[in-house]
Chain A
């Protein structure tokens, strides 16, 4: 039985094409994934992300616990409301999930984890939390909306309770503020400015209606995927999983190696891998030619070495295909990709592909020359 978010009826009313995603009936698009993508880059769009799990952790030793549980260091969170992106690893350094953790107060932190990994995450966290007397509360009572785009914050502002307006509008990126029943984070998964708002189900439905009336377009999982890829953001289950470490997944930057005396789950395995250099790397690709890079396509590095695309798409903003690929360590500048039995060249670029609505990479000039001939 597939689960529905509290906004399911709203999606049907907005003519959503519904798909199964991680055990949930979610909107793929509301007519045109492409238009929704552009809407977010140019104005504002809203996503129902209530399938993601909100988990509150409480206890006197919660900070100590999270410093052990997560590969990034919660010790970096000095001010209340600050958020941190981190991988949660197993003993082998494999990624159990990627998540955002918010510092609520000295005895309470909030995690937002992926939908498909919700249950194994809770089992894993619970198994370690017991030892330190940490209480874990899964917030089934809450929905989550992401409003993203250059105009997102301005459009949301009038919908916020007055007591939150000023603090929400002056939030620094990756910070949150809240009152009794609304939690507003200046975070997202699109490469645009915006908010992620966590709130009780009935309030979520009202917020959805009000934002719709204010001209914020609903956007589905399809646009969410093309937006996050353009923004250079990895997707759990595609670009990372339990069989690969953050080093193999382009997430080295999220691992806090210092302080050296901080032990965290997976540290030893990761350290050994880093010392030996015997791991893969992730590169960002732009296809030089017509076609679409997609997950599982085979990639050949120019200096030898074979790998594969972990996720790829057509980039609506750039008009070319982009992807992430996992390859053996090497100095990769250009690769060959096999698409439908044809070998095409792709250039390795520095992500993100798109930032704040604009191309962040040099677009291939060859595209015009190699097509249609």
Chain B
């Protein structure tokens, strides 16, 4: 089995989402390599609406593979400012590039500092998936 890729510069939710703080202060969200590997080939991605306000840990998207459907929870609170609409036609981008082309949505955070403190570091996330 291949080892999951866990980039050191990202923050992770226990529910297998990642969050990246961009230079402009926005947050990009996706699912981890480990999560896409567990799900297998994705066939549908249901994204939130642009402009939608989401809470931290709020269910706001769904990824569905041949095998199973999985709820996606926003790792931080904020307003959805962009969604990766290329996933509508190519959900498999989440499998091939979970940390780049397979991103799900971008947020303008409203409570970033406190929300980030609740998330796991790469080392902590690695430990979690090893214990699963």
Known A226-B66, A313-B66, A372-B88; contact A33-B44, beta-carbon cutoff 8 A: no
Partner of B66 from the list A15, A17, A314, A372 (CB cut-off 8 Å) is A314
Known A15-B2, A291-B64, A340-B62; contact A222-B40, beta-carbon cutoff 8 A: yes
Known A15-B2, A372-B88; contact A314-B43, beta-carbon cutoff 8 A: yes
Count of CB-CB pairs between chains A and B under 8 Å: 38
Answer whether residue B117 sits at the interface, using C-beta atoms and an 8 A cutoff. Answer: no
Answer whether residue B41 sits at the interface, using C-beta atoms and an 8 A cutoff. Answer: yes
Determine whether the beta carbon of B88 is less than 8 Å from that of A33: no
Answer whether residue A302 sits at the interface, using C-beta atoms and an 8 A cutoff. Answer: no
Answer whether residue A137 sits at the interface, using C-beta atoms and an 8 A cutoff. Answer: no
Answer whether residue B114 sits at the interface, using C-beta atoms and an 8 A cutoff. Answer: no
Determine whether the beta carbon of B66 is less than 8 Å from that of A316: yes
Answer whether residue B53 sits at the interface, using C-beta atoms and an 8 A cutoff. Answer: no
Min distance, Cβ A368 to any Cβ of chain B, angstroms: 11
Answer whether residue A182 sits at the interface, using C-beta atoms and an 8 A cutoff. Answer: no
Determine whether the beta carbon of A32 is less than 8 Å from that of B41: yes
Q: Tell me which residues across on chain A come within 8 A of B64, comparing CB atoms.
A: 291-292, 314
Q: Tell me which residues across on chain A come within 8 A of B69, comparing CB atoms.
A: 292, 294, 340
Answer whether residue B101 sits at the interface, using C-beta atoms and an 8 A cutoff. Answer: no
Among A7-25, those with CB < 8 Å from B are 15, 17
Among A23-67, those with CB < 8 Å from B are 29, 32-34
Answer whether residue A358 sits at the interface, using C-beta atoms and an 8 A cutoff. Answer: no
Min distance, Cβ B4 to any Cβ of chain A, angstroms: 13
Answer whether residue A275 sits at the interface, using C-beta atoms and an 8 A cutoff. Answer: no
Q: Mark A266-280, 1 if CB is under 8 A from B, else 0.
A: 000000000000000
Determine whether the beta carbon of B62 is less than 8 Å from that of A34: no
Determine whether the beta carbon of A15 is less than 8 Å from that of B43: no
Min distance, Cβ B77 to any Cβ of chain A, angstroms: 24
Answer whether residue B8 sits at the interface, using C-beta atoms and an 8 A cutoff. Answer: no
Min distance, Cβ A343 to any Cβ of chain B, angstroms: 16
Chain B interface residue bracket vs A: 10 to 19
Q: Tell me which residues across on chain B come within 8 A of A17, comparing CB atoms.
A: 1
Answer whether residue A290 sits at the interface, using C-beta atoms and an 8 A cutoff. Answer: yes
* A34, A222, A371: residue with the most chain B Cβ atoms closer than 10 Å: A34
Determine whether the beta carbon of A33 is less than 8 Å from that of B41: yes
Residue in A closest to B47 when the chains form the complex, CB atoms: A372
Residue in B closest to A313 when the chains form the complex, CB atoms: B66
Q: Mark A260-298, 1 if CB is under 8 A from B, else 0.
A: 000000000000000000000000000000111010000
Known A292-B69, A340-B69; contact A33-B40, beta-carbon cutoff 8 A: yes
Determine whether the beta carbon of A292 is less than 8 Å from that of B44: yes
Residue in A closest to B95 when the chains form the complex, CB atoms: A32
Residue in B closest to A16 when the chains form the complex, CB atoms: B1
Min distance, Cβ B108 to any Cβ of chain A, angstroms: 23
Q: Tell me which residues across on chain A come within 8 A of B88, comparing CB atoms.
A: 371-372
Determine whether the beta carbon of A29 is less than 8 Å from that of B43: no
Residue in A closest to B64 when the chains form the complex, CB atoms: A292
- Distance A60 CA – B43 CA, assembled complex (angstroms): 54
Min distance, Cβ B104 to any Cβ of chain A, angstroms: 15
Answer whether residue B46 sits at the interface, using C-beta atoms and an 8 A cutoff. Answer: yes
- Distance A294 CA – B44 CA, assembled complex (angstroms): 14
Min distance, Cβ B27 to any Cβ of chain A, angstroms: 24
Partner of B1 from the list A15, A32, A226 (CB cut-off 8 Å) is A15
Q: Tell me which residues across on chain B come within 8 A of A222, comparing CB atoms.
A: 40, 66-67
- Distance A226 CA – B43 CA, assembled complex (angstroms): 13
Among B9-63, those with CB < 8 Å from A are 40-41, 43-44, 46, 62
* A222, A226, A314, A372: residue with the most chain B Cβ atoms closer than 10 Å: A314
Determine whether the beta carbon of A291 is less than 8 Å from that of B41: no
Q: Tell me which residues across on chain B come within 8 A of A313, comparing CB atoms.
A: 66
Residue in B closest to A35 when the chains form the complex, CB atoms: B41
Residue in A closest to B67 when the chains form the complex, CB atoms: A222
The 3 closest A-B pairs by CB, nearest first: A34-B41, A314-B43, A314-B66
Please give 11 more A-B residue pairs, beta carbons under 8 A apart, in addition to A32-B40, A314-B43, A314-B64.
A32-B95, A33-B41, A33-B66, A290-B44, A290-B46, A292-B64, A292-B66, A292-B69, A340-B62, A371-B88, A372-B88
| Interface residue ranges, B against A (CB under 8 Å) | 1-2, 40-41, 43-44, 46, 62, 64, 66-67, 69, 88, 92, 95
Q: What are 16 pairs between A and B in contact, CB < 8 Å?
A: A15-B1, A15-B2, A17-B1, A33-B40, A33-B66, A33-B67, A34-B41, A222-B66, A226-B66, A291-B44, A292-B66, A294-B69, A314-B43, A316-B66, A340-B62, A372-B88
